[in-house]
């Protein structure tokens, strides 16, 4: 589930992704592989108990599992051992195993480090132009209040962010990148979306993965493959913009494309668009 406007979330098997949080809904993937679930319950999902979340999602999830199994298709699941395909006959086939049971801890640590790096980049932009960027953040905070009227939950975080933005600048900037538990929690409901451009955000991700010795970043290229295959016009424009920044590896992107589970015709059509985008980038570089 996408938690905020810029939270791009992929399913365990990588075939479906969702973005937009409560602001909009964008789904990447084959339409037969997912069902959009709407609810009139305005409570913040993250304020629900585990039982309430399960009750809201259990019926549509079970219905989709049954539909896929009835059609002879496997479904993707996960447990403490790893991620597996569950076949209609009840057999399992693991395609990703967790080592040493450290899946959860490692995933959270990596996500937190990326979050810190993103906020370091945001802090740098605010420090260079505090008036403009804090005004932008306050406008976004007002929009968030419409989705989280309170009291409690995310609304209390928004109250705290507003007090920090009205206080000394250095206190705000120090808190934004603090490793404290309070700061980690509040970064999940922060009003700073839009301060970094898409290109700046992906540059942070690229730098992080390069520092980890993972070049190029897998998540970036998998997202682009999904958008080239199944995206709308705005998604393709988004892809072209990222290619133009130089953060996308051409050979690796094509490699991930041909690993995708789709027809050869779809792959060739996407490949043609990819080659067009890289040709435009090379033309721009020659012009510079």
How many residues make up the chain in this entry?
288
Angle between helices 218-230 and 264-287 (to 10 degrees): 110
- Whether 41 and 56 have beta carbons less than 8 Å apart is answered as yes
Using the Cα atoms of residue 209, residue 212, residue 213 and residue 214 in order, give the sign of their dihedral. Answer: negative
- Whether 177 and 120 have beta carbons less than 8 Å apart is answered as yes
Peptide linkage before 151 cis (omega within 30 of 0): yes
pLDDT tens, the chain, 288 aa long: 555 544 556 565 555 666 665 555 566 655 555 556 555 444 455 566 667 767 777 777 888 888 888 888 778 777 777 777 788 888 887 766 665 444 444 445 566 777 888 899 999 999 999 999 999 999 989 888 887 676 666 788 889 999 999 999 999 999 999 988 888 888 878 889 888 886 787 778 777 766 766 555 566 788 888 889 888 887 788 788 778 767 788 888 898 898 888 888 999 999 999 999 988 877 766 655
CA distance 204 to 209: 9
CA distance 189 to 148: 10
Only one residue has tokens 């295959």, namely 229
Q: What is the pTM of this model?
A: 0.49
CA distance 41 to 49: 14
């Amino acid at each position: 589930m996408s938690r905020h406007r810029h939270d791009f979330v992929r399913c365990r098997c990588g075939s479906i992704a969702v973005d937009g949080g409560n602001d909009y809904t964008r789904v990447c993937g084959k339409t037969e592989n997912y069902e959009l679930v709407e609810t009139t319950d305005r409570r913040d999902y993250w304020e629900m108990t585990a039982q309430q979340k399960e009750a809201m999602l259990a019926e549509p999830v079970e219905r989709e599992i049954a539909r896929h199994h009835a059609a002879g298709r496997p479904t993707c699941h996960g447990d403490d051992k790893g991620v597996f395909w569950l076949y209609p006959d009840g057999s399992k086939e693991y395609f990703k195993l967790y080592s040493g049971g450290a899946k959860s801890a490692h995933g959270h640590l990596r996500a937190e480090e990326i979050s810190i790096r993103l906020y370091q980049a945001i802090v740098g932009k605010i420090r260079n132009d505090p008036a403009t960027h804090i005004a932008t953040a306050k406008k976004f905070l007002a929009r968030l209040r419409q989705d989280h009227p309170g009291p409690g939950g995310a609304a209390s975080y928004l109250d705290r962010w507003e007090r920090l933005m009205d206080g000394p600048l250095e206190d705000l900037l120090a808190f934004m990148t603090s490793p404290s538990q309070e700061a980690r929690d509040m970064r999940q409901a922060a009003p700073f979306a839009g301060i970094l451009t898409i290109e700046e955000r992906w540059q942070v991700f690229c730098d992080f993965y390069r520092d980890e010795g993972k070049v190029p970043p897998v998540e970036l290229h998998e997202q682009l493959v999904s958008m080239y295959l199944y995206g709308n016009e705005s998604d393709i424009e988004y892809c072209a913009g990222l290619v133009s920044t130089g953060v996308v590896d051409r050979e690796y992107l094509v490699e991930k494309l041909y690993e995708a589970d789709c027809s050869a015709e779809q792959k060739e059509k996407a490949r043609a668009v990819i080659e067009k985008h890289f040709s435009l980038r090379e033309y721009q570089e020659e012009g510079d």
